[in-house]
Chain A
Amino acid sequence: MSSEWPLYEVFVRGKRGLNHVHVGSLHAADDEMALHHARDLYTRRNEGVSIWVVKAADITASSPDEKDPFFAPSGDKVYRHPTFYDIPDDVPHM
């Protein structure tokens, strides 16, 4: 049996009101140990109020190599941005 501990990715919520943000990775034997290691490694100075850990192998990611076609559906929809619309300057609260 391999004694290699799997790689976990770590996400920390810096404070209430913020999203969890990826901060790095670590190795741990299981989920619970991963949480403890994440606390010791990434929040030694109150950097977080909540931690997520997830096995790196369980993450599905888009690949940078397919960047252009993958994000193309959002690239050509300028009308999704407020600046697409011309509104006269004197119309308030727009």
Chain B
Amino acid sequence: MTATLSEPDLERHFEGTIARDARIEPRDWVPEGYRKTMIRQIAQHAHSEIIGMQPEGNWITRAPSLRRKAILLAKVQDEAGHGLYLYSAAETLGADRAELTEKLVTGRQKYSSIFNYPTLNFADVGVIGWLVDGAAICNQVPLCRSSYGPYARAMIRICKEESFHQRQGYELLMTMMKGTEQQRRMVQDATDRWWWPSLMMFGPPDADSPNTAQSMAWKIKRHTNDELRQRFVDMTVPQAEALGVTLPDPELRWNPERGHYDFGEIDWTEFKRVLSGAGPCNAERVAHRRAAHENGAWVREAAAAHAAKSRRGREKAA
């Protein structure tokens, strides 16, 4: 007993759901643009989590203690988990997971530009937790109210786990800051290298972000890139002070009139360059992901063959 509604009726129903602040759920009718935008955003987010395992994974075998190693392993495993929650959400919109992976390893879908920077010393692990995961939390908390139900629910799980990521990073840095002069220099060096790329994580400035208006209207996004970036700066400055590091921006200062910190101009040429593939690690990250995928093919095939054989055995026995 399917009641066939006309397209304008479906569209009105969809807009009404968004206007009531109710969630869109799988199998709801959605405009093609909403589906495409949602799949693109979720896939890009999933890819970022998956590629995001690499910069820190780099340090698992060289963690300075068993405690740090166990923490780092758990964190990198979480990133894999986040990627999988998100691929699962993308699939509810009709995306095919194998195809998404294919698009990542062939460079047809992007991931966050932040993961194209190298992790040069162990303090980078701490700074990634503090700044990169801190920025991610800033971005993601409002996404817990995103209009697409499965995405919003995935974000709730992810945010809970990101809190551990940020705190372990900050604690690692506090420990290093209590150490030797050389360790303190490592923390400052890592902070200097990750600060600006972290600010770029929020995406281009509002004036240069063509998709923002539509995404806000569909309640996929709840705040603009610049709003979230400002929020992140305001949150982070006191954390840097407590830690005893200097954020590498001479223009960074409190503006009592605005009630916010002013900060310097972001180098958007660098952002575009890294995004377009010319960052320090782009080629390496994608090549590594492709190799992992290809080297795992025999495992996927063997498991599928085993499952098929067991199924035939059961059918014969029945």
Q: Is the CB of B300 within 8 A of A26?
A: no
Q: Is the CB of B98 within 8 A of A4?
A: yes
20 contacts between A and B (CB under 8 A): A3-B300, A3-B301, A3-B305, A4-B98, A5-B304, A24-B88, A24-B154, A25-B88, A25-B92, A26-B84, A29-B303, A29-B306, A30-B303, A30-B311, A44-B77, A45-B161, A63-B2, A64-B27, A66-B2, A69-B3
Taken residue by residue from 296 to 317, chain B's Cβ proximity to chain A (1 for < 8 Å, 0 otherwise) reads as 0100110111111011000000
Q: Is the CB of B29 within 8 A of A65?
A: yes
- Listed in ascending order, the chain A residues whose CB lies under 8 Å from chain B are 1-5, 7, 24-27, 29-30, 33, 40-41, 44-45, 61, 63-66, 68-70
Q: How far is the CB of A32 from chain B (nearest CB, A)?
A: 9
Partner of A24, one of B85, B305, B308: B85
B181 interface contact, C-beta 8 A: no
Query: With contacts A1-B308, A3-B297 known, is A27 near B97, CB below 8 A?
Result: yes
Q: Is the CB of A29 within 8 A of B304?
A: yes
Residue of chain A at shortest CB distance from B81? A41
Partner of B27, one of A25, A30, A44, A63: A63
Q: Is the CB of A64 within 8 A of B305?
A: no
Known: A44-B81, A69-B3. 7 other contacts (CB 8 A): A2-B304, A4-B98, A4-B304, A29-B307, A63-B2, A65-B5, A65-B29
Q: Which residue among B2, B10, B154 has the maximum number of chain A CB atoms within 10 Å of its CB?
A: B2
Interface residues on B, range: 35 or more
Query: With contacts A63-B27, A64-B25, A69-B1 known, is A1 near B78, CB below 8 A?
Result: no
Residue of chain A at shortest CB distance from B3? A69
Q: How far is the CB of B160 from chain A (nearest CB, A)?
A: 8
Query: With contacts A41-B81, A44-B78 known, is A25 near B91, CB below 8 A?
Result: yes
